[in-house]
Structure 1
């Protein structure tokens, strides 16, 4: 039985290569523009504080966290967490990343519905990612029980749904960031295209993740989705 060595494994390899390429691209792009100091010399933290103030957001706390490109916005405790490589840097790249996370804070404040949908999907996506493979394997071991196998595949599809919903959330946050930076005077007209390159590269990592998950789901369907009544 070609369970571990099967032609469909090429889909997993393709997904891994796509994700690695996207990760390498965003790291290269960030490092390139992280070497370009912004003309106004604002740090990522200062830029984030200014954007939140201009957006009328007063209940979000800015914190610094370890790591590089670990920046995130946490709507549950209203914190905008900037990595050390962003918080203390005056680079064009750092300001772009900080502005992107502020874009999520603005989404939260305005009740942007795709963001709310993504938040609501988090528990289901976590359950699906955790239980899908054990349920599929249980179905295979129980003489290819199609009910269990289909439940497992359906659960895995929740992870793909979450990533698809994530795409408009991330692209919209970047759009908001570019709009704020273009009109707020934080960057010069020459610096805005640089930020666009950084945010586009970051967005591609989400596209790559969704594509890799789709390829994995396709593999599960090809391997286990057909009836195996002959077994």
Structure 2
């Protein structure tokens, strides 16, 4: 991810970095809090995922357990919804919220949700940009090469664009999740409030990541301008 240099332009990124640290703390603390609150339905995260998929007429997506904590994700290539152990087998509000959110991504895939398709198309660009961009910019700064710095800036812009596009995809998945949980009466109104707090905390991490990427992109632009003025 973005690199660090001890120069005044770091002040551009610092607020976003602090927000990202807070977001990580917030999502873990909120998830752990509602991991101890069992839902009245007594359904597990895996149960919710299966039922929501079937309710939406989706029969080609499998649900699997994956190791780790907060490693839940949907893989559109293999049509697989992977839930971490403390989500897959848990009937907590946190587990049901996260499972429904990931199911929201599977539903997006099924209905050909345009922002999701666009984000998938950006994955190669984002991977290259997040790795090559900072490296090229660093080399450009060390050797005073404006060309390499600008090239790194262009590469990193792809990674920043990916983060920006991720926001509507994640917000939409959470919105779908909460509406479906309430529509099918899997959670009552009070329980929905708890699940929403978990998903809102998770959303903050995406907002923070986007702001960090944008901050670094602006910083590269400033450094490029400073080099041109020298």
Do these two structures clear the TM 0.5 threshold for a shared fold by scoring above it? yes
Please name the residue that 2:112 is paired with: 111
2:221 equivalent in structure 1: 221
Aligned residue number for residue 182 of structure 2: 182
What secondary structure is seen at the aligned counterpart in 1 of 2:65? strand
- Aligned twin of 2:19: 18
Shift of 1:145: 3.4
How many residues are treated as equivalent by the alignment?
Answer: 227
Conserved? CA contact 1:15–1:216, under 8 Å: no
Matched residue SS, 1:226 = helix
Which residue in 1 is equivalent to 2:103?
102
- The one-character-per-residue Cα deviations of 1:48-97 (angstroms, maximum 9, x if unpaired) are 11000101010001000111111000000000000001001010110010
Shift of 1:229: 6.1
Structure 2 distance, partners of 1:163, 1:118, is 9
Residues 1:217 and 1:13: Cα distance change in structure 2 (over 3 Å): same
- TM-score, normalization by structure 2: 0.93
Q: Take 1:205 and 1:134, find their aligned partners in 2: how far apart are those partners? A: 25
Bigger Cα displacement from structure 2, 67-76 vs 12-21: 12-21
- For residue 187 of structure 1, give the secondary structure of its aligned residue in structure 2: coil
Mean Cα displacement is larger for which, 154-163 or 95-104?
154-163
TM-score (norm 1): 0.93
Name the CA distance, whole Å, in 2 between partners of 1:133 and 1:80. Answer: 32
Give distance in 2, aligned partners of 1:47 and 1:229.
58
Q: Distance in 2 between matches of 1:227 and 1:71?
A: 43
- Specify the SS of the correspondent of 1:191: helix
Assess, with a 3 A threshold, how the Cα gap between structure 1 residues 137 and 212 changes in structure 2: closer, same or farther: closer
Per-residue deviation at 1:138?
3.7
Q: Aligned equivalents of 1:109 and 1:13: distance in 2?
A: 39
**Are residue 198 (structure 1) and residue 198 (structure 2) matched?**
yes
Question: Cα RMSD between the aligned structures?
Answer: 1.6
Whole-Å Cα distance in 2 between the matches of residues 70 and 211 of structure 1? 22
Give the secondary-structure state (helix, strand or coil) at the position aligned to 1:165: helix
Give the direction of change, closer, same or farther, for the CA distance of 1:141–1:187 in structure 2 (3 Å limit). Answer: closer
Deviates most, 129-138 or 22-31: 129-138
Q: Which runs of 4+ in 1 moved over 4 A?
A: none
Q: What is the Cα deviation at residue 222 of structure 1? A: 1.8
CA–CA distance in 1 between the matches of 2:119 and 2:137?
A: 25
Report the alpha carbon displacement of residue 32 of structure 1 after superposing the two structures with TM. Answer: 1.3
Determine the C-alpha separation between the residues in 1 that align with 2:111 and 2:133: 34
1:210 aligns with 2:210: yes
How big is the shift at 1:4?
A: 3.9
**3-state SS of 1:228 partner:** helix
Q: 1:201/1:137 Cα in 2 relative to 1: closer, same or farther (>3 Å)?
A: closer
**CA-CA distance at 1:227 after TM superposition:** 4.2
